[in-house]
Amino acid sequence: MVVTCLQLTEMITDQREGKLSPEQEEGIARHLAWCDRCRTYLRQMDLMIDALKKIPGEPLQEALHVALLARFQRRQSAGG
């Protein structure tokens, strides 16, 4: 499977959660073997995730969590 830069950015969350097929995993690995820009993107994303995990905070109230999740799902369904 040939993976473009755009496809990689769309697949990376599923990849990190172990939700991709072996063929998709291989496509990402092949892409990253030659694409410096995507390797840099992933390193930056990992650094941001690690930094965000270190920020202390209060748990999200259930009602706010439900509202944010619904908004995100509507936005995903609308394609943007």
* Helical segments of 1-80, H only: 5-16, 22-34, 36-53, 62-77
pLDDT of residue 76: 79
Please report which confidence band the pLDDT of residue 59 belongs to, taking 50, 70 and 90 as the band edges: confident
pLDDT of residue 43: 94
Region 58-80: mean pLDDT is: 83
Q: Please report how many Cα atoms fall inside a 13 Å half-sphere around the Cα of residue 63, on the Cβ side.
A: 0
Give pLDDT, residue 53. Answer: 87
Per residue in 1-53, pLDDT (tens digit) is 899 999 999 999 899 899 999 999 999 999 999 999 999 999 999 999 899 88
- Domain span at 42: 5-77
Long-range contacts of 20-26 (CB under 8 A, 24+ apart): 26/1
Domains in the chain, number: 1
